[in-house]
Structure 1
Amino acid sequence: MMRKSASFYFSKRKPIARKDRYALWRGAAELSGFNAQERLRVEWMVFYYTAAGENATLTAQHFGLSRKTFHKWLKRFK
């Protein structure tokens, strides 16, 4: 009689899918009831950390706002 391996009796665990921090930021904004303008500011920060590579000038140009305004909100966000 052949013995079956342990993998026959025990199933492999599925990895836990974790959301990235930007998805968590968006989810928190949604749950907090942010209006469209407030959610847009969250998108500024997501863009700043992802697509712009932490470049404030590029982020400000992309969204059509001044660098001073963006830096003000970045300071509040941190």
Structure 2
Amino acid sequence: MPDVVIHSGNPLQAVSIYDFKFPCPANNEATWKMYGHGHIYRGLNQGQVYVEALKTEAALVTPRRGIEQRIHP
């Protein structure tokens, strides 16, 4: 589940998706979780699944760098 979904006023019409990552230690890079063996979304990452499900852009956000990655539909 994404952390924040902005919608048009209709919850079924997503406009933007934001997923917050807090990597520790500070020098670790923030990344989307990859789905592995045995998972229905194997080979995809969280951002790709969010875009596929909600048909809008997904952004990975960190406290130090802000928006680090965007995945577009």
TM class by smaller structure: under 0.3
Name the structure where helix makes up a greater proportion of residues: 1
TM-score relative to the length of structure 2: 0.26
Q: Which has the higher contact order (CA 8 A, sep 6+)?
A: 2
The structure whose Rg is larger is 1
Question: Structure 1-normalised TM-score?
Answer: 0.25
